[in-house]
A and B are shown apart, each in its own frame.
Chain A
Amino acid sequence: MNAPPQSGRRSAVEIPAPALSGRFFSIGAKLSLMVVLVLTLASLFVVSELSGRARAQLIEQKRTAANMVVDLFAATVSAAADFGDEEELKGEVKNLGSNQDIVYAAVWTEGNEKPVAELGKSNTQTTAPSKSRQVEVLNDRIVITHPLTRPGGEQIGNLTIHFTLEPENAQYERTRTSIMLYALGMAALLAVVVLGLVRVQVVSPLGRLSRGIADVQKGREAEVEVRAHDEVGRLAAAFNSMAVAIADRESRLEALNHRLQQLLDHMGEAILVFDSGGRVGQVQSKKAAAVFGEFVSGQPVVDLLFPEGTSRVEREAFEEWLEVAFTVPVDAWEEVGALAPQETTIGRGSREERVLRLDFRPIVEDGEVRRVMLLATDETDKRRLERAVRENKEEHQRQIAAMRKLVAGGGQLLVQVLDGARERLTDCTKAIAGLSGDYATEQNEELFRWAHTIKGEARAFDLMALEKSAATLEDELAKFRGRLREGEKLAAESVRKRLEPLISKATESVGEAERMLVEASPIGPAILDQVTVRRADLSRLSELIPHGKPTGNAQEIARVVELLGSRPFGESALSLVDSAPRWAARENKRVAVDVDGRDVPIPPRLARVLSGVLTHLVRNAVAHGVEVLEDRERLGKPIPARIRLAAEEDDRVGPTIRVIDDGRGLDHEALEKAAQNAALEKAALEQTALEKAAAIVAHQAPTNAEEAAFTAGITTKPAATSEGNTSGSTRSSLHDGTDLAGFGMGLSAVRTELRKIGYDARIIERRDEGVASGIEVILSPMAR
Chain B
Amino acid sequence: MADTQRILLIDDSQAVLARAQAVLSDAGYEVITTNQTVGTARHLRSCQLVIIDYHMPGIDGGEVLASLRNAAKSAGSAPLFYLYTSDADLVGKGRSMGFDGSFTDKGNDEALVSQVNAAFRLIRLRSLSKK
Contact = CB atoms under 8 A, between A and B. Distances in A.
A345 B126 contact: no
Contact of A324 (B103, B104, B129): B129
Contacts of A340: 121
B128 A313 contact: no
B102 interface: yes
Interface of A: 311-314, 316-318, 320-321, 324, 335-336, 339-345, 348-349
Interface of B: 82, 91, 101-105, 108, 110-111, 114-115, 117-119, 121-122, 124-126, 128-129
B125 A311 contact: no
Given A311-B114, A314-B115, A343-B114, A321 B125 contact: yes
Contacts of A348: 105, 108, 110-111
18 contacts: A311-B104, A311-B111, A311-B118, A313-B103, A313-B115, A313-B119, A313-B122, A316-B101, A317-B119, A318-B118, A320-B122, A320-B126, A321-B121, A324-B128, A339-B125, A341-B117, A343-B114, A349-B105
Given A313-B102, A349-B108, 13 more contacts: A311-B103, A311-B118, A320-B122, A320-B126, A321-B125, A324-B128, A324-B129, A339-B124, A339-B128, A341-B117, A342-B117, A345-B111, A345-B114
Contacts of B110: 345, 348
B128 A317 contact: no
Contacts of A321: 121, 125
A355 to B, nearest CB: 9
Interface-central residue, A311, A318, A321, by most chain B CB under 10 Å = A311
B125 A320 contact: yes
A659 to B, nearest CB: 30
Which 5 residue pairs of A and B lie closest in terms of their CB atoms, listed nearest first? Answer: A317-B118, A314-B118, A317-B122, A317-B121, A313-B118
A531 to B, nearest CB: 42
Contacts of B103: 311, 313
A318 B129 CA distance: 14
A316 B118 CA distance: 8
Nearest to A312: B101
Contacts of B105: 311, 348-349
B122 A316 contact: yes
Contacts of A318: 118
A130 B55 CA distance: 139
A393 to B, nearest CB: 15
Contacts of B115: 311, 313-314
A321 B117 CA distance: 13
A774 to B, nearest CB: 28
Nearest to B101: A313
A313 B82 contact: yes
Contacts of B101: 312-313, 316
Contact of A314 (B108, B114, B126): B114
Nearest to A342: B117
A205 B122 CA distance: 65
Given A312-B102, A314-B115, A349-B108, A341 B121 contact: yes
A348 B118 CA distance: 16
